[in-house]
Structure 1
Amino acid sequence: MLESLRRYKERFTIAMRAAGICVYEVDLKNQRYTFFENAEAIFGKDGDTILRDVAAFSDLSPQAYCRAVSGYFSHPDDHPTVARAFAAVLAGQPASYQARMCAGDEDYTWCKIDVVPILQDGEPAFMVGVVSNIDPLKRRADFFETAAHMDPLTDLYNRRYGEAYIERVLRREPGGPHALLLVDLDAFKQLNDTHGHTAGDGALKQVADQLRTAFGPEAMIARWGGDEFVVFAHGTEWCGELSRQIDRFLKDPLQWGATKSMGLARWPQHGKSYQALFSAADAALYQAKKRRSCCVVAGPQ
């Protein structure tokens, strides 16, 4: 009998290593992890080391215990996800979630965690969890998702993502204030015809870099296509910092003597819908291109 159990455990361990998964158990009533099997596959530490690390948590209050365990095992941004799963287990329900996991000071790994309670007298007494390493799949999915949102030439967002983002913000925060800026290179066709398409591409990349420098990560910046760009300043009024950012961008010179123009429309003053706001900014840009190297604010609606 003992020999059969030993062989079964060996085969179970081999199977877990091949699958890259880890299995653990928690004594819920005593707030104590009881075992980790194949922990190295996920955490880079053996199970005995992890058990020693978390043993001191057992003496904490239930709330402090949950915080300590989450802090040891998961990324801070994933703590709410872990807390919801733990609450489900304490209510007698299984849970499945994804989170970035670690063991103390180790690097984070994206994992899928499936947990199920074991009941005694109708109450959750133990929790068994299975941790699967999904880091390569998650990072690959994130890469393709990001690529679908980006313009390959400038590394800015593309029009499809930009439109969806702006419409989402306008629905969520209809009171504003927000600012929509359209940016266009003046005489872009002439630049391409005179200096070649390589120069044209270089000018587009330079504009993208200048937009990032001037408006920073707070603004949504996208290439709309051709030589047109959009800056959506979320929650920013036409005053103070935004006006300084526009001035800084317009004064930043481009190669080959190229110039750029901007049209600005404010929400909700200049439009009650995304299309109306965009049309107002587009009309302002048309006026700006007549003057070159300036920003025109949309007229009253």
Structure 2
Amino acid sequence: MSSPESARTRAPNMRDVARLAGVSYQTVSRVLNNSEALRPETRDRVLAAMEQLHYRPNRAARALKTSRSRTIGVLASVRTNYGPALTIQAIEAAAAVEGFYVNTAHLSEIDEESVTTAVDRLIDQDVEGLVVIAPQQRVFETLATLADLPPMVTLRSGLDGDPQALWVDQAAGARAATAHLADLGHQYIRHLAGPQDWIEADARMQGYLLELSDRELPTLPPIRGDWTAEFGYFAGRQLIAANDATAFFCSNDEMALGVLHAAHALSVRVPEDISVIGFDDIPAAEHFWPPLTTVHQDFAELGRRCVQMLVKGRDDDTVDVQPHLVVRRSSGPARRA
């Protein structure tokens, strides 16, 4: 958690003022907006804290004439690639239609101080709602410790039934990929999983394991990766050389690309000798060689629904975004012994 002491190494913000004055963030906001619904002694205490911290209200706060800023904040992991970037674009477009602006804070590191600082930066912009596109469990553990947060929508797997979560059923997508390989006759299927602590990576791995268990197929230990094609290449070379699997389900398309490269380097044919499936359906996936079978996620629709949930709330008609398998030429029948 940040503190008045930590403000010495960065510009103080409204949360620092609230903490020093012993009031809520909303009370500080009311002082900045010249609200009349405050006791004089409370106002004086907040003003004294501002003076002690040398706090200067930001331009957005000074410009406020009402209690509404018409601004949505986005908290995003710095490792934004195709999916998160497209979701943020969709959030910005949908917010503009509703008359909202969007401010985005990217996390430089996934630790308590970085998350708190990024959230404080957004709150200092007086955001009316917050969208969290940072799929590490540590981010949500830190958010749970923060008080006075605005209404929030999180993009996460939703396995815990969080009503604030809007999600793509990652486990269902992984099961569909694994089932496709099993239906093609593959009994030994390797999984290149995503990094530890990534919620989506764990959900995809669980979907893979559940599908194998339901079909009573052998379970090979998943290999934890880092999302990169480079990891897929080096891991793929070792796993293909081990010759203990006829199919590879990768937790994203980039690692699948690395496995395809490894197969080519080892003169192993795809899909005649091994099958490869990815996840995400990035635009380049259909141009891999061979074109990649993968799980498609509608990131743009996800962004639009984020704004709708913040503006109108979640209701009985709110449904989660379902992934679907896109079959291309990288998957085929298991080779015969």
TM-score after normalising by structure 1: 0.28
Structure of larger gyration radius: 1
Report the structure, 1 or 2, having the larger strand content: 1
Report the structure, 1 or 2, having the larger helix content: 1
Q: Which has the higher relative contact order, 1 or 2, with Cα contacts under 8 A spaced 6 or more apart?
A: 2
